[in-house]
Structure 1
Amino acid sequence: MKETNNTVKQIDFILDKIRHDLNITAGTMKRILQIQPEITIFTPEQLARFNGKNGNPAYIAVNGTVYDVTNNAAWAAATHFGLTTGQDLSDEFASCHPGQPILNNLRVVGKLVQNE
């Protein structure tokens, strides 16, 4: 048990050092750490299925990252100020949320890739 505690302390120390060296906020670090080891890759067509309808989760993509907004109050009914889930909203977020710090509070579920 003592060895496990030391390992956890070492990992915490390393993560704090990385956060400090990269000059990123704790919220950004939390979002980075929420990325699943096996990242899900979404095409625009696949992302469209995650529109919050018929029991599906509600996902959005911003700058190539796919976020889960299913339980986010701002995205009630899978919409937010006329925007709907299941699509790439990079341009819309850039104009409404410069720097997009609001995304730090959302769970990352994958990456969006464009069809070739």
Structure 2
Amino acid sequence: MREYTKAQLALRNGQDREEIWCAYKGIIYDVTSSRLWRNGHHYEHWAGQDLTKELGDAPHTDRVFEKFTAIGKLTTS
């Protein structure tokens, strides 16, 4: 699986490019097809970021990511 930096992930925020990506637990998911992520935001959450810490505030579990394609890994460097 290809690795991406936080800077590369940030460009996939629905504003700078057409792709809308989010990271969770080190895996980057393509959420472009979700109507809930139009324009790169979903309620108080913004695409192009690592949402691991924010999931605790969500009304759903991490299983929500099962319906999206994992397209890469988020590098720590």
> Could you say whether these structures have the same fold, taking a TM-score greater than 0.5 normalized by the shorter chain as the test?
yes
Identity rate, percent: 29
Which of 55, 58, 63 lines up with 1:93 in the alignment? 55
1:77-116 correspondence to structure 2 within 5 Å: 77-96=39-58, 99-115=61-77
Paired residues, number: 77
C-alpha distance in 1 between matches for 2:71 and 2:59: 20
Q: Larger RCO: Structure 1 or Structure 2 (Cα < 8 Å, ≥ 6 residues apart)? A: 2
User: Which residue in 2 is equivalent to 1:57?
Assistant: 19
C-alpha distance in 1 between matches for 2:65 and 2:5: 20
C-alpha distance in 2 between matches for 1:98 and 1:53: 25
* Over 3 Å off, 4+ runs: none
The two structures have a TM-score, normalised by structure 1, of 0.60
User: Which residue in 1 is equivalent to 2:30?
Assistant: 68
Unaligned runs of 5+ in 2: none
Q: Deviations over 1:39-95 (max 9, x none)?
A: 110111111111112443010000000000111011111100121111101011133
Residues 58 and 68 in structure 1, CA contact (< 8 A), matched pair in contact too: yes
Unaligned runs of 5+ in 1: 1-38
Question: Judging changes above 3 Å, is the alpha-carbon distance between structure 1 residues 46 and 105 closer, same or farther for their aligned structure 2 residues?
Answer: same
- Write 1 or 2 for the structure with the bigger share of helix: 1
User: Which residue in 1 is equivalent to 2:2?
Assistant: 40
C-alpha distance in 2 between matches for 1:41 and 1:97: 29
- Write 1 or 2 for the structure with the bigger share of strand: 2
